[in-house]
Structure 1
Amino acid sequence: MEKIKILKAFTDIRTKQLYRVGQEVEVAEERVKEIEDNLEAFGGGYFEVLDDTKSKADETKPKKTAKKKG
């Protein structure tokens, strides 16, 4: 899943869902490409893929716990 931020309002032609400016939604990677290709005919720039590599790394990294001395 990819997280995208909506920059211009649009309606998804497959799901008929309205996406509004400022919304952040998770979409399957294949759908991101499909939506992007469809909107390219209208000038593109409707959304941006958010960089969530940091959050994914945090999820897989084990948490460190502080040990008390004494």
Structure 2
Amino acid sequence: MFKSIIFRAYMRQREPSPVAYRPKKNKKEAIQILLHAADTQLDRTVVNAFIDADKLGLIDPIMEK
């Protein structure tokens, strides 16, 4: 049991994370993500959408409206 836990932890370090690379989103995609997240009220999606929008510099224009 303990060996399998160590082996899985070792393999996780070697495998690239599926979420490690996220392609950049354009403004339209970021706004669609924010609107979808607001409709479904998914916490993780909302956080990720705000992070993406912030990286694109969209937070200030959205907050002004």
TM-score, scaled relative to structure 2: 0.32
**Bigger share in helix:** 2
**Bigger share in strand:** 1
Point out which structure has higher relative CO (alpha carbons under 8 A, 6+ apart): 1
